[in-house]
């Protein structure tokens, strides 16, 4: 039911706000019903304190807005491009959280220095290229999604569940909206630790590959053994 999806996405938006990853209205969460080919997303510019589940805006995978009471987030075309490009994802988060955004503005991927990072990302958090003037001038938000998809041409989006858009900020994703929020929280945390690690030891190197693989694969993939069985 679309009403259930709206409740899930509404809660995910509030969770993102309550975790302190949102300032003012700078961010959004969406979730998709793959069977129906419809996703719902936060409305544009509505304060989180005023949001209701019914405010979430439904959009189909052709980009048609199915409800007109409120406009969807201005980032809706980016979400649309990602749902088209990454068929395995079910939820997307965009924030301007301080540490992850700082790496995006510095045009630096978040390096994987240790196991906390490796628990969520199978290596450095990817950074997109800068967008061209033409991409910015025409269909900017859709082109943002296309630039992300381009960056992942040789990467598995489920092994790297987030990206830094150059000069802009982070997007994360997962199998549903709630887990995409978890990945956003993890990304901000590991970005903060990476910044601190670089200050403490500017010549710190990346985690050894064996340790990177061990920590990522014990939580993800067919041989994962972390946590409880469903």
Rg (the chain; Cα; Å):
17
Query: What sign has the CA pseudo-torsion 230, 171, 70, 142?
Result: negative
Annotated catalytic, 83? no
Query: Is the separation of the CB atoms in 195 and 101 below 8 Å?
Result: no
Catalytically annotated residue among 4, 60, 156, 226 = 226
Taking the C-alpha atoms of residue 2 and residue 58, their distance in angstroms, rounded to an integer, is: 8
Check 55, 119, 139, 213 and give the catalytic one.
Answer: 119
- The secondary structure of 92-148, three-state, reads EEEECCHHHHHHHHCCCCECCCCHHHHCCCCCCECECCCCCHHHHHCCHHHHHHHHH
Please state, as a whole number, how many other Cβ atoms lie within 10 Å of the Cβ of residue 214.
13
225 is catalytic: no
Residues known to be catalytic: 119, 226
């Amino acid at each position: 039911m679309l009403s259930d999806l709206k409740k899930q996405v509404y809660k995910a938006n509030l969770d993102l706000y309550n975790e302190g990853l949102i300032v003012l209205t700078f961010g959004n969460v969406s979730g998709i019903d793959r069977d129906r080919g419809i996703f719902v997303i936060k409305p544009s510019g509505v304060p989180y304190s005023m949001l209701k589940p019914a405010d979430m805006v439904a959009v189909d995978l052709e980009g048609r807005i199915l409800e007109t009471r409120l406009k969807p987030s201005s980032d809706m075309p980016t979400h649309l491009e990602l749902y088209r490009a990454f068929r395995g994802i079910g939820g997307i988060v965009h924030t301007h959280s301080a540490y992850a955004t700082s790496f995006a503005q510095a045009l630096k991927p978040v390096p994987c220095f240790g196991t906390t990072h490796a628990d969520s990302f199978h290596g450095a958090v990817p950074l997109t290229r800068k967008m061209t003037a033409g991409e910015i001038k025409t269909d900017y938000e859709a082109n943002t999604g296309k630039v992300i998809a381009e960056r992942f041409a040789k990467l598995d989006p489920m092994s790297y569940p987030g990206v830094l858009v150059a000069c802009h900020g982070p997007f994360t994703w997962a199998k549903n909206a709630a887990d995409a929020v978890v990945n956003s929280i993890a990304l901000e945390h590991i970005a903060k630790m990476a910044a601190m690690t670089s200050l403490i030891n500017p010549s710190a190197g990346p985690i050894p590959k064996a340790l990177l693989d061990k920590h990522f694969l014990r939580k993800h993939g067919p041989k994962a053994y972390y946590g409880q069985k469903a």
